[in-house]
A and B are shown apart, each in its own frame.
Chain A
Amino acid sequence: MTTATTSSALGGLTALPPASGRAGFGGALRSEWTKIRSVRSTMWTLGSAVVVTIGISVLGNWGRANHSGANAARLAQEDLTQRTLFGIILGQLIMVVFGAMAITSEYSTGMVRTSLTAQPRRAPVFAAKLLVVSFVAFVIGEVISFVSFLISSSFWRSKGISLSLSSPHAMQAVIGGGLYLAGSAILAFGLGAILRHTAGAITSGVGLLFVVTILANFLPDNWQQHLDKWLPFNSGGQVWATQHVPGNDLSAWTGFGVFMIYGAVAVLLGAYVFRNRDA
Chain B
Amino acid sequence: MIEVKDLVKRYGETTAVDHLSFTVEPGRITGFLGPNGAGKSTTMRLILGLDRPTSGRALIDGKPYRELPDPLRNVGALLEARAVHPGRTAFNHLLYLAQTQGVPKSRVSEVLDLVGLSAVAKKRTKGFSLGMGQRLGIAAALLGDPRLLILDEPVNGLDPEGIVWIRTLLKQLASEGRTIFVSSHLMNEMAVTADHVVVIGRGRLIADTPMEEFIARHAEQVVLVRSPQAEVLTEALRASGAQVRAQPDGALLVNKVEAATIGELAASKGIVLHELSPQRGSLEEAFMEMTRADVEFHGPAEHPPAMATWDAVPGSAAQSQAAAAQGAPQSGGAS
Contacts and interface: CB of A to CB of B under 8 A. Distances in A.
Interface of A: 1, 3-4, 6-10, 12-17, 19-23, 27-28, 30-32, 34-35, 38-41, 105, 109-121, 276, 278-279
Interface stretch (B94-102, B185-193, B299-307): B94-102
A217 to B, nearest CB: 40
B172 A109 contact: no
Given A39-B88, A110-B83, A120 B69 contact: no
Contacts of B26: 1
A21 B104 CA distance: 15
B219 interface: no
B54 to A, nearest CB: 11
A118 B100 contact: yes
A112 B51 CA distance: 12
Most chain A beta-carbon contacts within 10 A, residue among B77, B96, B111: B96
A117 B48 contact: yes
B117 to A, nearest CB: 14
Nearest to A41: B87
A16 B84 contact: no
A117 B145 CA distance: 15
Contacts of B99: 27, 30-31, 34
B142 interface: yes
Contact of B85 (A30, A39, A278): A39
Given A35-B96, A113-B50, 15 more contacts: A6-B176, A8-B176, A9-B172, A10-B142, A16-B103, A16-B145, A20-B70, A34-B96, A34-B99, A109-B86, A118-B97, A118-B100, A120-B66, A276-B52, A278-B51
B96 A38 contact: yes
B47 to A, nearest CB: 10
Nearest to B46: A278
Contacts, number: 153
Contacts of B70: 19-23
Closest 8 CB pairs of A and B: A9-B172, A23-B101, A38-B92, A34-B96, A278-B51, A30-B99, A110-B83, A27-B100
8 contacts: A1-B26, A9-B173, A13-B114, A23-B101, A34-B95, A35-B96, A109-B84, A118-B71
A23 B77 CA distance: 17
A111 B85 contact: yes
Nearest to A121: B66
A6 B176 CA distance: 9
A120 B71 contact: yes
A120 B48 contact: yes
A3 B48 contact: no
A186 B175 CA distance: 49
A155 B79 CA distance: 58
Contact of A110 (B72, B80, B113): B80
Contacts of B114: 10, 12-13
- B interface, how many residues as a size bin? 35 or more
B79 A113 contact: yes
Most chain A beta-carbon contacts within 10 A, residue among B69, B114, B145: B145
Contacts of A10: 114, 142, 145, 173
Contacts of A32: 96
A6 B75 CA distance: 18
A279 B75 CA distance: 18
A119 B71 contact: yes
A4 B145 contact: yes
Contacts of B287: none
Given A12-B110, A12-B114, A109-B83, A279 B50 contact: yes
Nearest to A13: B110
A117 B73 CA distance: 11
Interface string B34-60: 000000000001001111100000000
Contacts of A40: 87
Contacts of A14: 104, 106-107, 110
B178 A3 contact: yes
B207 interface: no
B104 A16 contact: yes
B124 to A, nearest CB: 8
